[in-house]
Amino acid sequence: MKLKTRLIIAFFVIILVPFFLFALAFFGFSRYQVRLVEESYGVPMSIEDLSDSMQVIGKSTQTTFEKMKEQAARNADRFLDRDYLDELNDSLTSRYSWLLVRIDDKLYYNGLGKNVDDLFRELPVFRAFSSAPDGGSYIGKNIEAFVKQLDVEFDDGKQGSIFIVSSVGNLLMHTSNLVRELILSVVVILIFTAALMVIWIYAGIYTPLNILSEATYRIKNEDFDFQIEVKGKDELSELCRDFDDMRRRLKEQTEQKEAFDRQSKELISNISHDLKTPITAVKGYVEGIMDGVADTPEKMDRYIRTIYIKANDMDRLINELTFYSNIETDRIPYTFNRINVAEYFDDCAEDVGLELREKEISFSYINTVETEVQIIADAEQLKRVINNIISNSVKYMDKPRGSVEIRVKDVGDFVQVEIEDNGKGIPTKELTNIFDRFYRTDASRNSAQGGSGIGLSIVKKIIEDHGGRIWANSRVGQGTTMCFVIRKYQVNVEAGQ
C-alpha cells in the first residue's frame, strides 16, 4: 500500500474511529449512570433525563408528595403529628430527601436532624409556589437543594408549609461522574487511535527502512553479495527495488573493475614477456657484434637483419599497447577513404607473403572481386586487422609446414575476406569468446608463447567501426578461418544521399 494511501486512511480513521468509539462510550457510560440513578431514586428514566436533574428529583418524590396532598385535603392537622411526620420522612430518606415543616415562619419539624438555618432562610414564603407534583424550586449557593412546597392551613388558623427537601449533590455526582468518564474515554480513545495509526504507519515504513539501512551498511563495506526482496507496491518498496538495482550495477561495475585490473596486470605481464624475448635477442646479437663474433659480412648482415626483425616485433607490441589505450578511451584515429579492393589486397598479400615466406610458412592469395569494386575504409587500420589475424595464426601454428591463405570474395553488397590457416584450431565452445579482450584459449601455452591477449579484440573493434562483422570457423587439429565483411562503396547510393 502506498504511503499516500496510508496517510489518507489514517486521516479518516483518526476522524471516524474516535467518533464511533466515543458514541459507544457515551451510550455505555450513560446507560450505566442511568441505571445507578434509577437504583438510587427508584424512578424509571432515560439518557435524556440526565440533562434535567430537577425533573429526576421531582419524579423520585412524586408519590410521597401526592400522599401529602391527599392528607392535606382530608385533615391538615395530621401534619402536626410528629410520628406521622417521621413516617413520611422515613419514606423520603432512601431518595436522598427529607421533610421540613414550617408553621408561622418558625421551624416545626426537621427530618434531617442537622442545622438547617441557612436552608430555612432561603425557603420560599407561604403560597409562593404551586403545589403541583412536578413543581418545585432549586436553592443554589452552598445549599444545592431542590424543594417541593405544600401549603396548608390548620384548624387553629395557623399557616404551615410542608417542604420535601432533596439533595442535588448526589445526582450531580452521577452527572459529574458521567462527564469525567466521557472525558477519560475521549482521551483513551484518542490515544488508542493515534497509537494504532502510528504503529500501522510505522510498520509500513520500518521494514523497508530497516532493509535499506542494512543494505547501505553492507554496501559501505563493499559487500554486494545479497539481494533486497520486498513484496509491497508502496513508494518505499519501489525505493528498495531501485536500491537493489543500484546494488546490482555496483556489483557488476566492481566485478568489471576487478576483472579489468586482473586483465591489465596480465596485459603488463604479457607485454613484458613479449618485450623481454626480442630485447634479449637484440642484446645477444649486439654483444656478438661488439665481441667480433660477426667476423664476416654474411654474419654481420644476418645479425643486423635479426636485430631489425626483433626491433620491429617490439615496435608492433608497443603500437598494439598504444592502440589498446585508444580503444579504452574510444579515441581510435580513423581516416576513411575510398579504397580499390583489388589493388589494396594485392599489396597486402605481397607484404604478408614476404614475411610468411621468411618464416617458412606457405602462403596463397585468391581475389575474385572485380577490379572496379571499392570500399570505404581506413587503409592503415584495415592493414592492422590483417596483420593481427595472420600474426595470431603464425603464433599458434603447430604444424611442421604451416600455411596461410587469404581469399577475397564478392558477396553482394559486401566484400568478404577469409584468412585460413592450418594451425591447431580452436574448440567450438570457445569460438564465441576469442574476440573478447584478454581472452586466450590456452592460458598456459599462450603464456609461454607470449601475446597480450588483445589482438583479436582490436580486430573486432576496427571491423565494427567500419560497419562490418567478423566471425571465425575452426576445427581442432585442422586449422581456423577468420572471416570479416565490409560494405561496398556504391556510387548510386552515395549520389542519392
Residue 146's alpha-carbon distances to 41, 169, 454, in angstroms, are 14, 10, 111
Lowest mean pLDDT among 91-105, 175-189, 235-249, 477-491: 175-189
Identify the bridge partners of residue 164 per DSSP, sorted by sequence position.
Answer: 99, 148
**Mean pLDDT of all residues in the chain?**
80
- Residue 446 scores a pLDDT above 50: no
pLDDT of residue 497: 43
Query: Which residues does 3 contact at the CB level (< 8 Å), separation at least 6?
Result: 204, 205, 234, 235, 236
Residues 356-373 have a mean pLDDT of 91
Looking at the domain covering 336-496, what would its CATH class be?
Answer: alpha beta
**75-167 classified as CATH 3.30.450:** yes
Residues 318-337 have a mean pLDDT of 73
pLDDT of residue 494: 45
- Residue 55 scores a pLDDT above 90: no
Q: Print burial letters for 242-253: b (CB count within 10 Å at least 16), e (below 16).
A: ebbeebeeebee
Instruction: Select the highest-mean-pLDDT range: 2-16, 284-298, 312-326, 406-420.
Output: 406-420
**Structural fold of domain 235-324:** Helix Hairpins (1.10.287)
Lowest mean pLDDT among 52-61, 352-361, 396-405: 52-61
Lowest mean pLDDT among 38-42, 253-257, 380-384: 38-42
pLDDT of residue 134: 53
pLDDT of residue 448: 43
pLDDT of residue 180: 76
Q: What is the pTM of this model?
A: 0.46
pLDDT of residue 226: 80
Confidence of residue 450 (pLDDT cuts 50, 70, 90): very low
Cβ atoms 341, 415 nearer than 8 A = yes
What confidence tens digit (pLDDT) does each residue in 374-395 have?
A: 999 999 889 989 988 998 888 8
Lowest mean pLDDT among 7-16, 151-160, 296-305, 381-390: 7-16
pLDDT of residue 445: 39
- Residue 173 scores a pLDDT above 80: no
Confidence of residue 443 (pLDDT cuts 50, 70, 90): very low
- The domain ranges of the chain are 3-50+175-204, 75-167, 235-324, 336-496
What confidence tens digit (pLDDT) does each residue in 62-120 have?
A: 888 888 889 888 998 999 999 999 999 888 887 778 899 999 889 999 988 888 888 88
Confidence of residue 313 (pLDDT cuts 50, 70, 90): confident
Lowest mean pLDDT among 10-24, 229-243, 280-294: 10-24
Bigger pLDDT: 71 vs 262: 71
Residues 241-250 have a mean pLDDT of 86
What confidence tens digit (pLDDT) does each residue in 405-416 have?
A: 999 999 999 999
Which residue, among 143, 154, 45, has the nearest Cα to 103 in the 3D structure?
154
What confidence tens digit (pLDDT) does each residue in 200-215 have?
A: 777 777 777 888 888 8
Q: Print burial letters for 192-220: b (CB count within 10 Å at least 16), e (below 16).
A: ebeeebeeeeeebeeebeebbeebeeebe
- Residue 267 scores a pLDDT above 70: no
Transcribe 134-199 into DSSP letters: T--EEE-TTT-EEEEEEEEE-TTS-EEEEEEEEESHHHHHHHHHHHHHHHHHHHHHHHHHHHHHHH
- Residue 177 scores a pLDDT above 80: no
pLDDT of residue 47: 53
The helix (run of H) or strand (run of E) holding residue 385 is: helix 379-395
Residues 181-196 have a mean pLDDT of 80
